[in-house]
Structure 1
Amino acid sequence: MSGPNGDLGVPVEAGAEGEDDGFGEAEYAAINAMLDQIDSVLDHLEEKNDRLHARLRELLESNRQVRLEFQQRLGEAPGEASP
């Protein structure tokens, strides 16, 4: 029978004293490193999302201004224009 790591003849209960979950410092360090990478990626995505949101708001405002200019050139009041 194989053990927890696929080693033949190693019972599941075998391990270093004081290790209840089978994780050592190296495993926790690897998990922490992965979590740090995930955190960095999420921060980067959040920054990109914020920049995109700001650019979209600028575009929306620009489009509103252009629409108002066209309405003024056509002699329409801003509230009378059809959508």
Structure 2
Amino acid sequence: MYKTLIEFFLDIRRDLASPVLPIIQVALASNYEVVRKAPLEIKLPNVICVDAKGLEVKKNDTLHLTTSAQVHLTKMLANAFFDIGI
């Protein structure tokens, strides 16, 4: 699965003529490790994966974050953007 995701990122960069385009993605907070695995394993320059595991999900829901967890994730994404250093 992650090979297709890598190809997708490379295609976007090629189409935009931007070989170092920053890409920030999120590994879901869910316990579906097979779904979380792909973004965590990608090793490309300027591709960062923010891991949402451990953030609070809504009650009776294993996927969607609570509002406070979404705010925290937004801060994590902002930090990731600054960590890229472009």
Higher relative contact order (CA 8 A, sep 6+): 2
TM-score normalised per structure 1: 0.27
- In proportion to residue count, which structure has more helix? 1
Q: TM-score, normalised by structure 2?
A: 0.26
As a proportion of its length, which structure holds more strand?
2
- Higher radius of gyration, 1 or 2: 1
